[in-house]
């Protein structure tokens, strides 16, 4: 079978499986759980993860020896697109599947792989990301959370605070970047720990967001225990592991995200035709530009994800986060202008609510995963060879 035929067969298999399974009790999950809707139906979406696992559709890009299908990039993209087209809900397991799993496969011990990968694969264990702190966001090297060695057990006792921790209240485990060497600064002296959330030294406090939901949290540690065997890499070498994990963050799932962007744009066009705003030249132009931006995003992502040897592709890849996040934030503004005065009214019209959430949540798109200013700095320094900006004392 040629590659193209293989991808077509995979698309058919995935579409058929999703049509048969995303139904009945799972039907309410269609198109739910995306941006700004992250705490919709959490328990049912966890069940959905187990349903997906029964069809071997969790972690399809993982190597077969770790339980995945070993799908190529093109095949994973095809699956993500079919998932989006079928209205597959936002994945509760995406941090485990997309970040923790690949990091453990690359850097974990055999014991860590055998204990943690099956829970991610089977949809029975959920993870969250404990990097940001009140004074360590863009400047992640400023981490203050401390990990102290307990000489009696070899375990690490963790004290400090994380913030903006998405889905911590629905997770079983958190991966934490903490400072393990007294007096160290910046990237040195950090440790990458896997910590069980359900233990006495961990407290989670929800943060209410502008859209009404509370999908992220503050997480406080007071001598929370990370077992000796749950250090990834070596103590002191946490920065390297943390950065490798971030490298996995900008992967295939971005193509799936684009399917939901396309649905949002379709909805805006539908409403613009209904309420007559589609006749206004300024709105028509913005809609046309939004469509062009989405197509450009798709081709850029495909090119960056492919193994194209062109050196420039790496540089273009640096612009991707900036491109999609600003495009999406502008789409939120366009949605409000198409809705007009109705945008201000809270009602149970699902179309209006979806666009209001789009507007409110997309304000965060240019912050998480690297703010606009940081993305432009990275592009200027790494992509265009401009001088490094002066760094603070923590670097």
Ligand X SMILES: Cc1cc2nc3c(=O)[nH]c(=O)nc-3n(C[C@H](O)[C@H](O)[C@H](O)COP(=O)(O)OP(=O)(O)OC[C@H]3O[C@@H](n4cnc5c(N)ncnc54)[C@H](O)[C@@H]3O)c2cc1C
Per CB under 6 A, the segment of 51-59, 151-159, 308-316, 361-369 that binds ligand X is 361-369
Cβ of residue 79: shortest distance to ligand X, in angstroms?
24
Q: Which tokens belong to 119?
A: 């829970």
Residue 117 binds ligand X (CB under 6 A): no
CA 130, 246, 257, 138 torsion-angle sign? positive
3-state secondary structure of 165: strand
Closest C-alpha among 265, 318, 320, 316 to residue 297: 320
Closest C-alpha among 254, 289, 253 to residue 268: 289
Query: What are the residues facing 127 on neighbouring strands?
Result: 173
Among positions 23-82, residues that touch ligand X (CB under 6 A) are none
Specify the residue, 312 or 373, whose C-beta has the smaller distance to ligand X: 373
Specify the residue, 137 or 251, whose C-beta has the smaller distance to ligand X: 137
Torsion angle, alpha carbons of 252, 256, 257, 260, to 10? 170
Q: Which of 72, 326, 371, 394 binds ligand X (CB under 6 A)?
A: 371
Q: Which of 165, 253, 254, 357 binds ligand X (CB under 6 A)?
A: 165
Residue 220 binds ligand X (CB under 6 A): no
- Are the C-beta atoms of 53 and 122 separated by less than 8 Å? yes
Residues 131-150, one symbol each (x = binds ligand X by CB under 6 A, - = not), give xx----xxx-----------
Q: Which of 122, 124, 159, 166 binds ligand X (CB under 6 A)?
A: 166
Torsion angle, alpha carbons of 291, 294, 295, 297, to 10? 160
**Residue at shortest CB range from ligand X:** 137
Specify the residue, 128 or 194, whose C-beta has the smaller distance to ligand X: 128
Q: Which tokens belong to 269?
A: 């066009």
Residue 394 binds ligand X (CB under 6 A): no
Cβ of residue 209: shortest distance to ligand X, in angstroms?
8
Among positions 225-254, residues that touch ligand X (CB under 6 A) are none
Distance between CA atoms of residues 188 and 377, nearest Å: 22
Residue 186 binds ligand X (CB under 6 A): no
Cβ of residue 305: shortest distance to ligand X, in angstroms?
23
Please confirm, yes or no, whether 249 is among the known catalytic residues: yes
Name, in order, each residue with C-beta under 8 angstroms of 82's C-beta and a sequence gap of 6 or more: 11, 14, 15, 18
Per CB under 6 A, the segment of 122-130, 232-240, 275-283, 304-312 that binds ligand X is 122-130
Cβ of residue 368: shortest distance to ligand X, in angstroms?
3
Count of residues interacting with ligand X (CB under 6 A) = 19
Distance between CA atoms of residues 220 and 59, nearest Å: 30
Closest C-alpha among 119, 132, 205 to residue 164: 132
Nearest 5°: phi and psi at 2? -70, 165
Q: Which of 114, 207, 373, 388 binds ligand X (CB under 6 A)?
A: 373
Specify the residue, 66 or 179, whose C-beta has the smaller distance to ligand X: 179
Per CB under 6 A, the segment of 108-116, 128-136, 200-208, 341-349 that binds ligand X is 128-136
Specify the residue, 194 or 271, whose C-beta has the smaller distance to ligand X: 194
342: DSSP letter: G
Closest C-alpha among 155, 157, 143 to residue 186: 143
List 181, 218, 249, 381, catalytic entry: 249
Closest C-alpha among 310, 309, 330 to residue 372: 330
| Cβ-based burial of 44 (10 A; exposed 0-12, middle 13-18, buried ≥19) | middle
Q: If you search the block for the tokens 């929370």, which residue do you land on?
A: 224
Residue 214 binds ligand X (CB under 6 A): no
Kindly list the catalytic residues.
249
By CB under 6 A, name the binding residues for ligand X: 128-132, 137-139, 164-166, 216, 364, 367-368, 371, 373-374, 377
């Amino acid at each position: 079978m040629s590659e193209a035929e293989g991808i077509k067969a995979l698309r058919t298999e995935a579409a058929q499986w999703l049509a048969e399974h995303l139904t009945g009790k799972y039907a309410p999950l269609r198109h739910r759980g995306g941006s700004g809707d992250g705490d919709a139906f959490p328990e049912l979406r966890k069940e959905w993860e187990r349903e997906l696992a029964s069809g071997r559709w969790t972690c399809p890009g993982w190597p077969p020896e770790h339980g995945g299908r070993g799908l190529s990039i093109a095949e994973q993209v095809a699956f993500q697109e079919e998932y989006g087209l079928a209205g597959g809900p936002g994945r509760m397991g995406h941090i485990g599947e997309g970040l923790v799993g690949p990091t453990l496969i690359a850097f974990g011990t055999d014991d860590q792989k055998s204990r943690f990968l099956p829970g991610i694969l089977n949809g029975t264990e959920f993870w969250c990301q404990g990097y940001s702190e009140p004074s360590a966001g863009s400047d992640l090297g400023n981490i203050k959370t401390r990990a102290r060695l307990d000489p009696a057990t070899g375990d690490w006792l963790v004290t400090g605070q994380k913030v903006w921790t998405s889905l911590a209240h629905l997770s079983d485990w958190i991966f934490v970047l903490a400072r393990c060497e007294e007096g160290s600064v910046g990237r040195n002296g950090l440790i990458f720990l896997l910590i069980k959330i359900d233990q006495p030294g961990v407290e989670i406090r929800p943060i209410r967001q502008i859209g009404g939901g509370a999908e992220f949290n503050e997480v406080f540690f007071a001598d929370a225990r990370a077992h000796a065997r749950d250090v990834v890499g070596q103590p002191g070498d946490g920065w390297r592991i943390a950065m490798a994990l971030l490298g996995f963050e900008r992967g295939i799932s971005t193509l799936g995200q684009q399917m939901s962007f396309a649905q949002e744009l379709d909805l805006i066009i539908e409403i613009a035709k209904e309420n007559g705003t589609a006749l206004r030249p300024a709105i028509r132009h913005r809609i046309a530009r939004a469509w062009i931006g989405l197509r450009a995003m798709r081709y850029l992502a495909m090119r960056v994800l492919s193994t194209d040897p062109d050196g420039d592709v790496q540089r273009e890849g640096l612009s991707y986060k900036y491109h999609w996040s600003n495009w999406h934030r502008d789409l939120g503004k366009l949605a409000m202008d198409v809705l007009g005065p109705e945008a201000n009214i809270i009602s149970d019209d699902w179309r209006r609510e979806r666009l209001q959430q789009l507007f409110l949540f997309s304000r965060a798109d240019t912050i998480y995963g690297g703010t606009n200013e940081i993305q432009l700095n990275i592009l200027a320094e790494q992509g265009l060879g401009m001088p490094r900006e002066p760094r603070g004392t923590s670097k």
